[in-house]
Amino acid sequence: MKAVDTNLLELLKKSESFVVPIYQRVYSWDENECEQLWSDIVRAGSRSQLVNHFTGSIVYIERDEGTATSREPNLIIDGQQRVTTVTLLLAALASYLDELPEDQREPRTGFSPAKIRGLYLTNQYNSGDEYFKLILTQRDRVALKSVIQNSALPESDSRVISNFRFFQDKLRTSGATLSDVCSGLDKLVVVDVSLTRGRDDPQLVFESMNATGKKLSQADLIRNFVLMDLEPASQTRLYEQYWYPMERFYQGDNESRFDEFVRHYLTLKSPTHSIPRRDLMYEAFKDYAFELEAKGISREELVVDFSNYSSYFAAMALGREKDRELLSRFTEIDLLARVVHPFLLRAYSDYSDGRLRRSEFIVILDAVISYVFRRAICSIPTNSLNKTFATLENVIDESDYAKSVCARLLTFPDYRRFPTDGEFKEALVNVDLYSLKRKMYFFRKLENDGRKEEVATSEYTVEHIMPQNPNEAWQNALGSDWKNVHERFLHTLGNLTLTGYNPEYSDRPFCEKRDIEGGFRDSPLRLNAGIGQLDRWTEDEIIQRADSLADRSLKIWSRPDVNSEELESFRQQFADSRNFDWSVAHSILGAIPSGFWTNYDNLAEAVGTSAQPMANHLATCPKCFKPYRVLTFDGRVAANFRWSDPSDKRDPIELLRLDGVEVVDGHADPEQKLGSEELLELLEEE
């Protein structure tokens, strides 16, 4: 690797060609960054005492053993945003100078339109791409060529066009002298870093240099990592055949969802289904790639697999599924709980490969929707939901795919339980549905169940039939106990509906709400069926309607159909410690902070097993982190505690003290003990 301080214009002059590799991100500097560069250049140019202005680094891979003056193009791996922006300013300057009288076209020696284009922008005796000193990727390439050639600009959303126009405007209106602009450009200095293919590691250099400038996304980092070390021909083939089609899924409003996909993909592929931290996904991806390489799996095979799973995610989460019945269910799940996606990636892969029938896939999706929504209505904490679905694939029996998944959902204990019909109905009737985050989803699904032509409920708002501010007419209608009735039932299912006439209804008496134009008597919504035929709206009517709607809800968000004998068989299979999924225990153990401990019962309850299997696992599993922090109910090290490694002779009491746990007379401080709910709170909450 060669690194020297270099005048940027001299570097452009001596280098015949810089090419941005096909896998690099498009040009992305915005107006704010152009404004900063412009200010730096004008400031440097206007200060005679300032000799140089440092503006970052340019890192490029030389072809063969060439230098910056070789005829082969150099591949830029860092600094393309800076080089491109300076190129745009030079092109705008040349274009502006063309408009001036001839005697004003060279405000500083060497800065005439012809010299700017001939020295810094083009190789005037070459043709084709070799004519241009800088070649960008994809859509930016055509735009930059038009700018440099001073030809008609194409219709494009490329920032090349908008930033070129920005600099044109600055040259015309900013008040900065052309001499200062030229002088500032002439003072720009960069660190010229040239790498030799096969000798230097461009990826390591790229990562270390990416501390400044416009921060790269996870997509940029992963793409560069995957493709950078490959030969140019392989880069182009893999990028065009796999990466670019995949990248198009994540444009515009979906850009942020690439990171989400990567996280779900890595969670699925992890042997322990560990969920990578959002700020460490790039590192996790590299670790996974290196693990594959150690197993003889090539970078190309990784790209193909990654691309396939990305298409599954796009189908489920980005609305690209063509099967309407599947799409409607994917849309619901994406709205209710995105933590389901690691498991669904596995299921969709099996569906795509023919291992999971469409009918079974629909059964699974319906079960997942019911499981997630029932739990939300019943206010069951969600802090372990991500781990539940990350590990759900462990129980899949491909010979009885749907039933094995449904049975596992039905046999989850305690905090992971699938609410029964009784628990779900009681919650539906009594909870504050008006404050429910997904209340519009609930009413949309309730209204459109069984309809072939869906009602666009987004055009409606939630209406309190008994109003939030009951006037005297309402108080009289509700009776002497009106305050209690209002407090108990105001935000509950029986009193809530949808309407497009919320302002008109206001706090009117029930009969007026019923009979006015657009009132309940005329409502086309199924949710309002029967209300228009009532003479009054009191506690009895609210209870009856709630009971009816709750019964409908039980059928819409139903529990899976697995008979008791099959369920018991699955329950025994899941309870077998040899088949039990211990990954939640591993995650909790790894998350217990210093200065705390727990006991066997609490950890077992959090994981969904009993104390004895938990103790047996701790004694035999090398993946259990700091197992000495799991003690008896009264804070003692168990009499039969043993390390998974028989040669380990460390004293658990000493380790507890080193961890910040106070131990007196062999008993850990009870104030430092974590209960089962506190253990669950340690798991990351989505």
pLDDT of residue 394: 86
Task: Compute φ and ψ for 131, nearest 5 degrees.
Answer: -70, -25
For β-strands 53-62 and 74-78, DSSP reports them as antiparallel
Residue 579 in this model has a pLDDT that exceeds 60: yes
Summarised one tens digit per residue, pLDDT across range 67-83 is 444 455 688 888 899 99
pLDDT reported for residue 222 = 85
Query: Which has the higher per-residue pLDDT, 276 or 179?
Result: 179
How confident is the model over 437-468, as pLDDT tens digits?
999 999 999 999 988 888 988 889 999 999 99
Residue 63 has pLDDT above 70, yes or no: no
Residue 663: is its pLDDT beyond 80? yes
Tell me which residue of 538, 436, 428, 450 sits closest to 486, measured CA to CA: 538
pLDDT at 189 over 80: yes
Give pLDDT, residue 226: 85
Map residue 565 onto helix, strand or coil: helix
pLDDT band, very low/low/confident/very high, at 49 (cuts 50, 70, 90): confident
φ, ψ for residue 150 (rounded to 5)? 60, 35
Looking at the chain, the whole-number percentage of residues with pLDDT higher than 90 is 62
Instruction: Determine the residue type at 577.
Output: S
Per-residue pLDDT at 505: 93
Q: How confident is the model at residue 48 (pLDDT cuts 50, 70, 90)?
A: confident
Q: Enumerate the H helices of 200-280 as residue ranges.
A: 202-209, 218-227, 232-238, 244-247, 257-269
Summary mean pLDDT of the chain: 89
Buried-exposed string 364-383: b where 16+ CB fall within 10 A, e elsewhere? bbbbbbbbbbbbbbbebebb
Q: For residues 344 and 261, what is the distance between their CA atoms, to the nearest angstrom? A: 12
d(CA 151, CA 397): 64
- Distance, in Å, from the CA atom of 178 to the CA atom of 197, rounded to the nearest integer, reads 41
Q: What is the number of other CB atoms lying within 10 angstroms of the CB of residue 620?
A: 12
The pair of structure tokens assigned to 351 is 């569906």
Please, is 671 exposed, middle or buried when counting C-beta atoms within 10 Å of its C-beta (0-12, 13-18, 19+)?
A: exposed
352: buried, middle or exposed (CB in 10 Å: 19+, 13-18, 0-12)? middle
Position 577 pLDDT exceeds 90: no
d(CA 574, CA 412): 10
pLDDT greater than 90 at residue 155: no
Q: What average pLDDT score do residues 160-189 get?
A: 94
Cβ count within 10 A of residue 73: 24
Q: Mean pLDDT over residues 499-523, rounded?
A: 92
Q: Is the pLDDT of residue 685 over 50?
A: no
519-536 pLDDT, tens digit each: 999 999 999 999 999 999
- The string of pLDDT tens digits covering residues 272-284 is 788 888 878 888 8
506, 467 Cβ separation under 8 angstroms? yes
For residue 156, which of 167, 145, 171 has the smallest C-alpha distance? 145
Strands 134-135 and 18-19: parallel
Partners of 189 in the beta sheet?
A: 7, 54
Does 608 have pLDDT greater than 80? no
Q: What pLDDT is attached to residue 3? A: 66
**Position with higher pLDDT, 578 vs 374:** 374
What pLDDT sits at residue 607? Answer: 81
pLDDT recorded at residue 167: 96
pLDDT of residue 686: 38
Q: What is the mean pLDDT of residues 552-574?
A: 91
**234 pLDDT higher than 60:** yes
User: Euclidean distance between the first and final Cα of the chain, in Å?
Assistant: 44
d(CA 269, CA 279): 18
Is 0.95 surpassed by the pTM of this model? no
